[in-house]
Structure 1
Amino acid sequence: MLSKNQIKYINSLQIKKYRQQHQSFVVEGAKSVVELLASDYEVETLWATSEFQQQHQAVLAARRVPLETVTLSELEKLGSFQSNDSCVAVAKTKENRFLCADPGEYVLLLDDVRDPGNLGTILRIADWYGITKIVCSESTTDLYNPKVIAASKGSFTRINTYYTDLPPFLSQHGAGVGVIGAFLEGESLYDFRFPSQGGYVVMGNESQGIGEAVGTYVTHKVTIPRFGGAESLNVGIATAVICDNLRRQLHKG
């Protein structure tokens, strides 16, 4: 049973300040929780309906976590969450550990991506295309925002992220590799050849694009050719198009 204090605690984790204070975040919905249980995240507590427990006995047996049985009506008391159909878990956040591109590897680099839904979608896209690292500017939305976690559909468990000041990072780690930036004006993505030594694919802010400070480190500006009248593409869609072209080239060699 969910107590008032537990409900208050879970709801407080929608706010970044409290996520940082408790070093905890919320995962909701059966798919995302099952992915969480299969990952290396430390699970603080899982509240689940008896139906969820019956359907996922093997997962729960393999990964023993503090478990409390709740009803759907109790889950509905978690007011601002949208998919409380069977369970909600609280897990511990991970340390912000340094990441960079290994030789021959491409890493996504996000400059001031603010929308949680976009970040969650980008995590899912990276997971689909086998990109396991994302380096984020300090102003990019928090990985553990509930909307990011929900939009990622469990992919947050397989993608490593690192938040840092991007210009100094690129100054040190962008030398000798490709730093490919998405711009409205640049070489056609269809003609561009991704450098074989690997590097970084930079995606910018939803309305402003890649900032000037980060843009100075971009070695190759690319654009997705436009054939219609739309002014721009959503950053998540643009990321998918670029990742698809990247993987096609790497696959063909």
Structure 2
Amino acid sequence: MISKARIKFISSLQQRKYRQLHGLFVAEGTTNVLDFIQSGTKTAEVFATRGWIDEHGKEISRIPVTEVTMKELKKISSLKNPSEVLAVLVQLPETTPDLTKVNDLTLMLDDLRDPGNMGTIIRTADWFGIRTIICSEDSVDIYNPKVVQASMGSLSRVNVSYHNLWELLKNKPDSLNVFGAVMEGENITEIPKPDKGIILIGSEAHGISQKLLPMIDYKITIPGISDGPNSAESLNASIATAIICYEFRR
């Protein structure tokens, strides 16, 4: 049984201001919830059906659990078709990246606004073993329910932080190259791809901001194949990121 006050509180976490106020966020679905728990993310409470609790009792034995019905889950879920489990978790600690110590690939996202793209990019980074994503301060909140859902548990394994990208890049070492995805750049298949560097992805609507363009060492482009008059003008930000990450890792 869950009280009306509790329902109201959990539902409020769908809004950024309340997530920031309480330092909490919500994850839904077995994969998401268990990935966060197994990664050591502090879990405030789990709300689940009796069947789910019986099946996953060992994995949640040290966590506060409230048994709820599917009807109650629908009241606190952000999904049209809720899963049998929802967790309220403590937001992950945010670290300030030191670009002088970068020894691997790092993703940098400039003004990325779409929650689905953000979640997919986090999942993509996890797949390709990229553990650091640096977002501009105006990018979408990683604890937005749609971001958490699209990341499919990868948020627990990728460190995401928000910073002034210009301030970070102006102090980066010369040995750390920035590869910026633009419409008119060098073919990504033909450029040198080091083991370490920054991959800069711009916003869905406007691309990389004018202020950051001079900081790019290599402007890169994914060449299109279709030459028809009605072909797509550009790639979705998350798809472009996945292709670029693959090219760097292969």
Task: Give the TM-score band, short-chain normalised.
Answer: over 0.9
Match of 2:202 in 1: 204
Distance 1:159 1:83 in 2: 27
User: Is the 8 Å Cα contact of residues 114 and 140 (structure 2) preserved in structure 1?
Assistant: yes
* One-letter amino acid of the counterpart of residue 165, structure 2: L
Kindly report which structure 2 residues correspond to 1:1-253, keeping only aligned pairs within 5 A, or say none. 1-61=1-61, 64-78=62-76, 80-101=78-99, 102-173=101-172, 175-196=174-195, 198-228=196-226, 229-248=231-250
Mapped to 2, the partners of 1:211 and 1:174 lie a distance apart of 21
Q: What are the Cα deviations for residues 15-44 of structure 1, in whole angstroms up to 9, with x where unaligned? A: 111011111111111111111111121111
Does the residue aligned with 1:213 lie in a helix, a strand or coil? coil
**Residue type of the alignment partner of 1:148:** V
Aligned AA for 2:244? I
| Cα pair distance change 1:116/1:107, threshold 3 Å | same
1:176 offset after TM fit, Å? 2.0
Q: Which amino acid aligns with 1:2?
A: I
Determine the C-alpha separation between the residues in 2 that align with 1:224 and 1:116.
23
Secondary structure of the corresponding residue to residue 89 of structure 2: strand
Q: In structure 2, do the counterparts of structure 1 residues 144 and 174 end up closer, same or farther at CA, with 3 Å as the change threshold?
A: farther
Three-state SS of the structure 1 residue aligned to 2:182 is strand
Which amino acid letter does the alignment assign opposite residue 200 of structure 1?
I
1:114 & 1:108 partners in 2: Cα distance?
16
CA deviation string 1:175-227 (max 9, x = no partner): 3211000001000011011134x120000000100001111211000000011
Structure-2 residue corresponding to 1:251: none
Provide the C-alpha distance between the structure 2 equivalents of 1:235 and 1:169, rounded to a whole number of angstroms.
22
In structure 2, distance between residues paired with 1:217 and 1:237: 23
Cα distance in 1 for partners of 2:204, 2:102 equals 30
Q: Work out the percentage of aligned pairs sharing the same amino acid.
A: 40
Q: Which runs of 5+ in 1 are unaligned?
A: 249-253
Superposition RMSD on alpha carbons, in Å?
1.3
Letter paired with 2:241: T
| Number of residue pairs aligned between Structure 1 and Structure 2 | 245
State the SS of the aligned residue for 2:148: helix
| Runs of 5+ consecutive residues of structure 2 not aligned to the other structure | none
- CA distance in structure 1 between the partners assigned to 2:245 and 2:98 by the alignment: 18
The AA in structure 1 aligned to 2:83 is D
Structure-2-length-normalised TM-score: 0.94
Matches of 1:56 and 1:38, distance apart in 2:
12
Counterparts of 1:100 and 1:72 in 2: how far apart (Å)? Answer: 45
Compare 92-101 and 42-51 and name the one that shifted more: 92-101
The answer to whether the Cα contact below 8 Å between 2:77 and 2:86 also exists between their aligned partners in 1 is no
Contact 2:78 2:145 in 1 (8 A): no
Tell me the distance in 1 between the aligned counterparts of 2:8 and 2:208. Answer: 38
CA distance in 1 between partners of 2:70 and 2:164 (Å) = 43
TM-fit CA distance, 1:140: 0.7
Supply the distance in 2 between the matched residues of 1:99 and 1:83 (Cα, whole angstroms): 38
